[in-house]
Amino acid sequence: MSVQIRCLLAVAGPRTYCVIHCVDSWWLRGVFMRNFAKLLSSVVLVGAVSVCTAANAVTAIYTISGNGSGSLNGISFENADYTFALAGDTANVIDNYFGYYYGHFQDNNNLTSATFTIAGVGSGTVSLATEFGEFYNQAYFGRADFGNDILDFYLPSETDITTTAGPLTGTGVYDLGQQIDTSAGELELDSSSDVTFSSLVPEPESWALLIAGIGLTGVALRRRQRTGVRLIAR
């Protein structure tokens, strides 16, 4: 079947082309598919490079939870469940015998955020610069400006703050009695039971975008195209 349509001009080098027929062209479809495959492979390669770059700077989310006693803004609590939620860019982790977030305390670029919740008491954010790291199987979370530890406890040696880990349960909090400035007032932990630690490193958003794009491409390619074009030089 051939359906004539009005001239649609296109300029390519010294020649002007006019699309004059709409036909079923397997040859043209093959040319399109071969070139599209090259284009798609280039897009995938660029996307993969972007993902690899982003993978070096993804956000890690850490959760430290336990049960303890202490005070918040002068209000005492006993045997209360607490949770610290920490977030940091893994690009700021030094990879050596032990990992930790680094950065000058004035820049506050160790952890991107540090929040806490104490059941029945209150919640808030830790003021000024904070840091989080591990020393062999000892994990700690503290203040980067004065070196005060908020939590200091032992965990299994497979803990790695740059990857997904946990939940892991460690023994106790060893550095107690520190008064830490928070948005909800001074926080102090005087005693604590075993502490549970878990970390999550979300996949870069570019992975999701890349997968979605390939999926849509697959759907489009599965559609049977019964119409092609024939180009005749004028």
How does pLDDT run across 194-207, given as a tens digit for each residue?
Answer: 899 999 998 775 44
Whether 9 and 73 share a structural domain: no
Alpha-carbon distance 2 to 227, whole Å? 10
pLDDT of amino acid 153: 83
- The answer to whether residues 217 and 194 belong to one domain is no
Q: Are residues 129 and 189 in the same domain?
A: yes
Task: Count up the domains in the chain and report the number.
Answer: 2
51 lies in the same domain as 63: no
| pLDDT in the model for residue 105 | 56
Statement to judge: residues 74 and 104 lie in one domain: yes
Q: Does 82 share its domain with 186?
A: yes
Instruction: Please check whether residue 127 is in contact with residue 183, taking contact to mean a CB–CB distance below 8 angstroms.
Output: yes
Output the CA–CA distances (angstroms, integers) from residue 47 to 40, 72, 176, 215, in the order listed.
Answer: 10, 47, 47, 14
pLDDT exceeds cutoff 60 at 191: yes
- For position 175, what pLDDT does the model report? 77
Question: 53-87: string of b/e by CB count within 10 Å (b at 16+)?
Answer: eeeeeeebbbebbbbbbbbbeeeebeebebebbbe
172 shares its domain with 73:
yes
- For residues 189 and 209, membership in a common domain is answered with no
Task: Tokens for 229, please give them.
Answer: 């074009």
Task: Please check whether residues 48 and 91 belong to one and the same domain.
Answer: no
Comparing 158 with 168, the larger pLDDT belongs to 168
| Choice among 26-30, 118-122, 209-213 with the minimum mean pLDDT | 26-30
Nearest CA to 65 out of 119, 144, 4, 137 is that of 119
Confidence (pTM) = 0.62
Domain with 74, as residue range(s), is 59-200
Structure tokens at 49: 């490079």
Same domain, 101 and 114: yes
Q: What is the largest CA-CA distance in the chain?
A: 90
What pLDDT sits at residue 92?
A: 84
Q: Are residues 130 and 227 in the same domain?
A: no
pLDDT at residue 15 in the model? 41
Tokens 């460690």 belong to residue? 170
pLDDT at 231 over 70: no
- Tell whether 212 and 136 lie within a shared domain: no
